[in-house]
Homo-oligomer: A and B are copies of this chain.
Amino acid sequence: MYKVKVFVTLRESVLDPQGSVVKNALHSMTYQEVQDVRIGKYMELTIEKTAKDIDSTVREMCEKLLANTVIEDFRYEVEEVVAQ
């Protein structure tokens, strides 16, 4: 079994209005030291072991569904979990 962590973030060049709002909120809460906030998605997938290569499977899932590659970047970490 695999535990996969997927991080989807907006590309550098894309505006992040949600991040700006959070930054302004933090500023008004006395955290003036915050310079930038970018908000993305974090997904944890539990995937059964199959004959298919886990790495290319996850890449495919990201490209087809989990991330919009026009405006988002993704990266992932695969961890094998041994059932006890």
Contact = CB atoms under 8 A, between A and B. Distances in A.
Contacts of A37: 43-46
Nearest to A2: B33
A25 B66 CA distance: 10
Nearest to A35: B46
Interface of A: 1, 7-9, 19, 22, 25-26, 29, 31, 33-50, 52, 57, 61, 64-66
A9 to B, nearest CB: 7
10 contacts: A1-B35, A26-B65, A29-B65, A34-B46, A35-B46, A35-B47, A39-B41, A39-B43, A40-B41, A40-B44
Contacts of A39: 41-43
